[in-house]
A and B are shown apart, each in its own frame.
Chain A
Amino acid sequence: MNSKYGHIILPVRNAHTLSVQFLILIVLLLVLPLLLSTLNCSKESPLPTYTYDPEVNVFALLILNNQQKIVRVERSYKATDYFPEQRGITDATVFIHDDTTAVQFLHQGNGIYQDVDGRLLLAAGKSYRLDVTLANGKKITAQCRQPGRPAILSPVNNSVVDAFKFLSIEWGKADFAYRYLVYLNDTSRDFTVSDRTDSTALTFYPFLFAEPDVYVIKVVAAEPNYYDYIRGRPEDEPLSLVSGGLGVFGAVAYDEIVVVAK
């Protein structure tokens, strides 16, 4: 038959050849699916199993503003295991050193360790070293440098801004800051958005100020560890910023203002 596809048909030269070809096709179309079905090819493949050795997961953050130090030590789990609420490592030895002092953080429950006496003094520009030693002797270490506090220059605290408009925020450069995280919280609708920048200014989009409301703006100066930890995508690959485990040891300092959008 001729069609626009240029279909070519040759006369049958050999009936035996044709029946062989047809037989091949019948085998393919009838026997093969039947065979594959009987071999359970239509069933779900068994799910894979994996081996995994749990790791130590450390979150340690120094906040200059109120001399706050948060240290949490826990473990990761095999994917198929139950993930308990009480998963902290309770018998680790945790120290944070500055250049003159080594302060032990004591376990308070569920993997949280605290500087009970407040002996560790945070100061801008100072370097700190975290040492975590597990009962089995495994060590996790990390270092960071405390940035100073930024100072928000614009808008002024408790000022009134226009709703439905862009809002530009400017601040003074903080000592020893690597980059900045900026948080905007809508107090009544209780949502928080954040952004990152390496400059000292940022503009928030108008739909964030679509409702007349009270907004709290925080500008956080971060050192490289905590900044990289925040900007990383944990769903892809957890950024390991401590040696010997997962997690981060970082330091921040912030300034905050309140603005009223009308």
Chain B
Amino acid sequence: MRDRPALENLTISTLRNLLLIILLRKFRCILLSISVAGSLWAQETGVINGFVRDADNGESLPFVNVFLKDTQLGAVTNERGYYVIPKVPADTFTIVFSMLGYERVEKSLTVEGKKTRTENVSLKQSAIEMAAVVKTAERERLEREVKTSTLTLQSRQIVTMPGLAEPDLFRSLQMLPGVVSRNDFSSQLYVRGGSPDQNLVLLDGVTVYNPFHLGGVFSTFNVDAIKEVEFMSGGFPAEYGDRLSSVLNISNREGNSKKLDGSGNISLLSAKTLLEGPIPHGSYLVTARRTYFDQLFKGTDYEFPYYFYDFQGKMNLDLSQRHRLTLSGFYGDDVLDFSFTGGEDDDFDVKMDWVWGNRTTSLNWRWIIHPQLFSEVLLTRSRFRNDLNLDLTSGSTASLDIHNGITDWSAKGDFSYFGIRGHAIKFGAVHNWLDFRYQIGINNINLFNYLSEPKITSVYGQDQWQVLKQLSLKTGARLDYYDLGQRWRFSPRVAIKYQLYPNLALKGSWGIYHQYLTTAVSDEQNFNFIDLWFPLTEKYQPQSATHYVAGVEWWLPYELILTTELYYKEMTNLLDLNEQGDFANERDDFFIGDGYARGAEVLLKRSVGRLTGWLGYSYSLTKRDIHHVNYFPKQDRRHSLNLVANFDLGKGWTLGALFAYGSGTPYTPVPGKYAHYEWNFHNNELSNEIYDRKGSKNSARYPSYHRMDVSLQKHWQVFGLRSKPYLQIVNVYNRKNVFFYFWNHDSNPSELAVVNMFPFLPTMGLEFEF
């Protein structure tokens, strides 16, 4: 490309001439494309399709570049490793499969007119000298897809990050720009000013409603089973709905279809194991994890009453070249089980059994209806339940039972059509049957019973259109029907990408989003143990948001990618729990209001090489106007800086570091105190208690937050097993980050006390593979 003249040397007439030349060239290109297409159309053509897999373990490989040598014809494998090259002239070609980290494969094949040639390929992993034209899957994905605000993480990036006792997916995501963590004790995600219930969390296509253990300290996902995580923090396409802020799409691995493989891990938190292997015409993968402190202290004076476990399984079965069934499931529970004796004379006993957790099951039928029509039908069941039984015995036993939960049955069909060159068309439909139950009873007598069974039906269509070589446009729309209140909602989505230079692209997106479920959470809460989900009843309008995103994506030398984005998100009909609501007045269960979030994000990322990781900065401002109060919600963090680095030291050593900085988040100050009086009708006297006199909502800011974590791992061969002991240190320099302040009014004058977040915390563990 010849250099463009410096702008200051151009006259208006020169500019006009230049513009004319550019337009004429474009017009000639278009004419040439039409004539070539016309000549191709006149010939008989065939189709080439197939799957690309990893030769070592049989896992499908997405975003592998597949092209016919010395032609302009090619494709890229989709998330399932499937590719299709339509309208190939009848001839003999050399087909090339290429992706960084794998050996390039070239094969000769002959295409016959009106026939489909299937070419399945397995690529061998290899440390190859990187040629300039070989791209990473990530770059291929970013160049091909028209998506803003999207980041993909591989499992290896998550496992090497320093974590709390063991790698955690959500804690890794909290290090990305645009994602705020309110405190160290919660792995919940506040994305671009939104709340956690505005994030759609999918595990192999199944919605997970409370993806946390221990009240949000850890996420429920075992990173060893994860293949890839796609995180869309805004502007997500029409195939996703019913959430306002983000989509977290987690894909588990399919299992090693070549040989039996396994691993185990023991950390200070839990013990876990993974087993995968082939079955006839398929593969399987199972993982299990459990904490063990309750077992360690069993029978001692210091019994530990809590544990959690989770179990994931996946099985793939290839019925034929065109049909594949995948059955997968996730089962996980938290269990808190304790008893004690109390009272002045030890005259009452308390026993509590509390179990909460997720159950998801899905059956996926992948059917290649036609080489150019790829379909997936997914049947799912996702259930979150919370069961509490509390027995109080003093003479007799009063037994309190609380059961609540959400069950989501869904049937979904997604279709991808590749028949029109330059277009990637996707369309589908989903129907959700939801079941919300809240029951309270005492001594088997039902005192409170809430049941709601709403349904949501959605259809969507989208087309990614390669308008010009440099210009791609993705348009789509989604139509929802929510039966509570008979609400129809239309959600258009548009994304655009312009390749200004080979290494520089401009992106933008706009879309409308709706949400029909909410959680009973108030902004005042510092800590939220469990999310209680509710459907919006007829008296509430669906919550909605409009996203505006504009950004730049720039591929730099040394496999660096720099992305910057500006965003603005308007939210309406937001609900905030009214904690002072009167149970007798249904109208005041929630406050309704609006909000917005705006910001700028910069991310510099490197995914290959000995030094990998990212440096991210975000500026954000988010506000709410609810119940006539204008305030900054608790997730409003003005500045965030996050650095994640992993360095392969060689000889099996890996060093990881993580540094997070955030400016202070809002809180409601307590500048005063007062006596709250009540008339004691029994004693006929006035009683009082000292309470906080709060200031304006969220008008003060905590001090800034920063923390550094490090980790060190070493790969070893011990007794024929590949093992990896690791040491992690959270908060290396013991920064006392403030969690919250509280006044202790028991002393007079009252004393202001502070609760800090994680101190210096070393943990260690051992992972092994067999």
Count how many chain B residues have C-beta atoms less than 8 Å from C-beta atoms of the other chain: 92
Q: Does B675 touch A at the CB level, under 8 Å?
A: yes
Per-residue CB proximity of A218-238 to B under 8 Å, as 1/0?
A: 101000000010111111111
Q: Are A78 and B672 in contact (CB under 8 A)?
A: yes
How many whole Å from B561's CB to the nearest CB in chain A? 16
Q: Are B686 and A206 in contact (CB under 8 A)?
A: no
Closest B residue to A35 using CB positions: B733
Q: Does B708 touch A at the CB level, under 8 Å?
A: yes
Q: Are B127 and A9 in contact (CB under 8 A)?
A: yes
Q: Are A43 and B736 in contact (CB under 8 A)?
A: yes
Q: Are B671 and A78 in contact (CB under 8 A)?
A: yes
Binds A, one of B5-13, B303-311, B595-603, B690-698: B690-698
Q: Does A175 touch B at the CB level, under 8 Å?
A: no
Q: Are B679 and A166 in contact (CB under 8 A)?
A: no
| Residue with the greatest number of chain A CB neighbours at <10 A, chosen from B445, B579, B655, B681 | B681
Count how many chain A residues have C-beta atoms less than 8 Å from C-beta atoms of the other chain: 84
Bound together, the chains give a CA A251 to CA B620 distance in angstroms of: 49
Q: Does A211 touch B at the CB level, under 8 Å?
A: yes
- Please give, as numbers and ranges, the residues of chain B lying within 8 Å of A81 by CB-CB distance: 749
Could you say which of B643, B659, B686 contacts A59, with CB atoms under 8 Å apart?
B686
Could you say which of B263, B396, B703, B715 contacts A45, with CB atoms under 8 Å apart?
B703
Q: Are B159 and A28 in contact (CB under 8 A)?
A: no
| Residue with the greatest number of chain B CB neighbours at <10 A, chosen from A48, A52, A55, A166 | A48
Binds B, one of A16-24, A117-125, A149-157: A16-24
Q: Are B127 and A11 in contact (CB under 8 A)?
A: yes
Closest B residue to A80 using CB positions: B749
Binds B, one of A68-76, A96-104, A130-138, A140-148: A68-76
Q: Which of A149-198 contact B (CB under 8 A)?
A: 164, 166, 179, 183, 185, 192, 196-198
Could you say which of B659, B690, B715, B735 contacts A28, with CB atoms under 8 Å apart?
B659
Closest B residue to A205 using CB positions: B442
Closest A residue to B613 using CB positions: A25
Bound together, the chains give a CA A50 to CA B670 distance in angstroms of: 8
Q: Are A57 and B738 in contact (CB under 8 A)?
A: no
Could you say which of A3, A61, A83 contacts B749, with CB atoms under 8 Å apart?
A83
- Please give, as numbers and ranges, the residues of chain B lying within 8 Å of A216 by CB-CB distance: 682
Q: Are A2 and B672 in contact (CB under 8 A)?
A: no
Q: Are A206 and B443 in contact (CB under 8 A)?
A: yes
Bound together, the chains give a CA A166 to CA B396 distance in angstroms of: 13
Bound together, the chains give a CA A25 to CA B115 distance in angstroms of: 55
Bound together, the chains give a CA A43 to CA B679 distance in angstroms of: 46
Per-residue CB proximity of A3-39 to B under 8 Å, as 1/0?
A: 1111111111000011001101100110011001100
Q: Are B655 and A25 in contact (CB under 8 A)?
A: yes
Q: Are A210 and B398 in contact (CB under 8 A)?
A: yes
Q: Known: A17-B558, A164-B396. Contact between A55 and B679, CB under 8 A?
A: no
Q: Does B394 touch A at the CB level, under 8 Å?
A: yes
Per-residue CB proximity of B128-148 to A under 8 Å, as 1/0?
A: 011000000000000000000
How many whole Å from B258's CB to the nearest CB in chain A? 12
- Please give, as numbers and ranges, the residues of chain A lying within 8 Å of B396 by CB-CB distance: 164, 206-207, 210
Bound together, the chains give a CA A36 to CA B704 distance in angstroms of: 13
Q: Known: A50-B669, A76-B693, A206-B443. Contact between A211 and B735, CB under 8 A?
A: no
How many whole Å from A69's CB to the nearest CB in chain B? 11
Could you say which of A9, A79, A252 contacts B671, with CB atoms under 8 Å apart?
A79
Q: Does B741 touch A at the CB level, under 8 Å?
A: yes
Could you say which of A33, A83, A205 contacts B708, with CB atoms under 8 Å apart?
A33
How many whole Å from A189's CB to the nearest CB in chain B? 10
Bound together, the chains give a CA A33 to CA B732 distance in angstroms of: 7
- Please give, as numbers and ranges, the residues of chain B lying within 8 Å of A196 by CB-CB distance: 583-584
Q: Are B708 and A55 in contact (CB under 8 A)?
A: no
Q: Are A207 and B693 in contact (CB under 8 A)?
A: no
Q: Are B398 and A239 in contact (CB under 8 A)?
A: no
How many whole Å from A111's CB to the nearest CB in chain B? 10
- Please give, as numbers and ranges, the residues of chain A lying within 8 Å of B594 by CB-CB distance: none
Bound together, the chains give a CA A235 to CA B64 distance in angstroms of: 58
Per-residue CB proximity of B645-686 to A under 8 Å, as 1/0?
A: 101110010010101000000000111111111111110001
Could you say which of B584, B655, B681, B736 contacts A44, with CB atoms under 8 Å apart?
B736
How many whole Å from B25's CB to the nearest CB in chain A? 37
Q: Are A9 and B263 in contact (CB under 8 A)?
A: no
| Residue with the greatest number of chain B CB neighbours at <10 A, chosen from A7, A28, A52, A79 | A79
Q: Does A63 touch B at the CB level, under 8 Å?
A: yes
Q: Known: A28-B659, A70-B686, A218-B681. Contact between A233 and B669, CB under 8 A?
A: no
Residues of A within 8 A of B (CB): 1-12, 17-18, 21-22, 24-25, 28-29, 32-33, 36-37, 41-45, 47-48, 50-52, 54-55, 57, 59, 61, 63, 70, 72, 74, 76-83, 87, 164, 166, 179, 183, 185, 192, 196-198, 205-207, 210-211, 216, 218, 220, 228, 230-239, 246-247, 252, 254
Q: Which 7 A-B pairs have the closest CB atoms?
A: A207-B398, A5-B156, A50-B671, A52-B671, A76-B674, A59-B677, A198-B584
